[in-house]
Amino acid sequence: MAWFSCYLTSGKHMLFYQSFVTVLMLLAITAPVSLAFGFGGAVASRSHFLPLAWFGKLYTSIVRGVPDIVFFLFFVIALDQGIEWMRHQALCPDWSEPIRQGNDFLVCPQAKAPLSTSPQWVHEVYNFSLAVFTFAIVFGAFAANVLYGAMNAVPKAQLETAHAYGMSNRQTFWRILVPQMWVYALPGLGNLWMILIKATPLLFLLGVRDIVYWAKELGGTKSDVYAYPHGDWRIYYFLFLLVFYLAFTRVSEIVIERMTRKLSHGQATAGGEAMRREA
């Protein structure tokens, strides 16, 4: 018993517990940012200005078509090297050696992002930001498609009535279309949220140590060179993660259900009609 209480409070376990915060923080930041990306993408796709509409459609179809894992491996390295390349151009104009030497990607030391001299936490924050940005782009594309569909699902008569009342396009969009589209978007957005929760282990690909990484590391066989030797305990750690993920998605389901009820209230949909009859 005493052994366990020492074991479960070792420095390594503390890092494991902290990684739960990392994952929750990632979700808390990524969800609104992706929603914003999605909203932008959907609005762009609906635009009457053709290049903007093409841009919106290109964004959603390309990102949705590329497998996540490819995107996470390729895009992040490209983004990182892009940032370093730009810093290199700005900070070291006198650098004469080529950036690409065979397989090596070499920028001047001042252009490294983050600098190799910066402490480890800066590297971690940098990786985390790259992760948030990448997640936001990927999930933003899916959200854009959901919102685009939701905007089209709002009955045309509603928009025409708004115009007949003399509202401008902008007013119609913000006062009539946007408040009504959420009820159509919610099932799709709810799905995305669930997928996002389960996609967080991709964090490790981006160099952020998440809960799955720590569960694997802590559960692995520990020989005598460790302070707390034990056998292969990964199954227990993964069972714990299973419970965590199931509980988390269950709570999310309940919240989404409540939101659907709230949004359906007074809407001209089957759900809204059912609520009207009940009342």
Shortest distance, CB of residue 240 to other proteins, whole angstroms? Answer: 18
Per-residue burial over 132-150, b = 16 or more CB atoms within 10 Å of its CB, e = otherwise: bbbbbbbbbbbbbbbbbeb
Q: Which residue in the set 113, 144, 192, 212 belongs to the binding site for other proteins (CB under 8 A)?
A: 113
**Contact partners, residue 211, CB within 8 Å, separation at least 6:** 16, 19, 20, 23, 200, 201, 241, 244
If one asks whether residue 126 binds other proteins (CB under 8 A), the answer comes out as yes
| In contact, 222 and 27? CB cutoff 8 Å | no
Q: What's the rounded Cα separation, in Å, for the pair 24 and 180?
A: 30
| In contact, 181 and 147? CB cutoff 8 Å | yes
If one asks whether residue 114 binds other proteins (CB under 8 A), the answer comes out as yes
If one asks whether residue 28 binds other proteins (CB under 8 A), the answer comes out as yes
What is the identity of the amino acid at 62?
I
If one asks whether residue 102 binds other proteins (CB under 8 A), the answer comes out as yes
Question: For other proteins, which is the closer residue by CB, 24 or 66?
Answer: 24
> Of 47-55, 62-70, 126-134, 250-258, which segment contacts other proteins by CB under 8 A?
126-134
User: Could you list the residues that contact other proteins (CB under 8 A)?
Assistant: 10-12, 14-15, 25, 28-29, 33, 73, 77, 80-81, 84, 91, 101-107, 109-110, 112-118, 120, 122-123, 125-126, 128-129, 204-205, 207, 216-217, 220-229, 231-232, 234
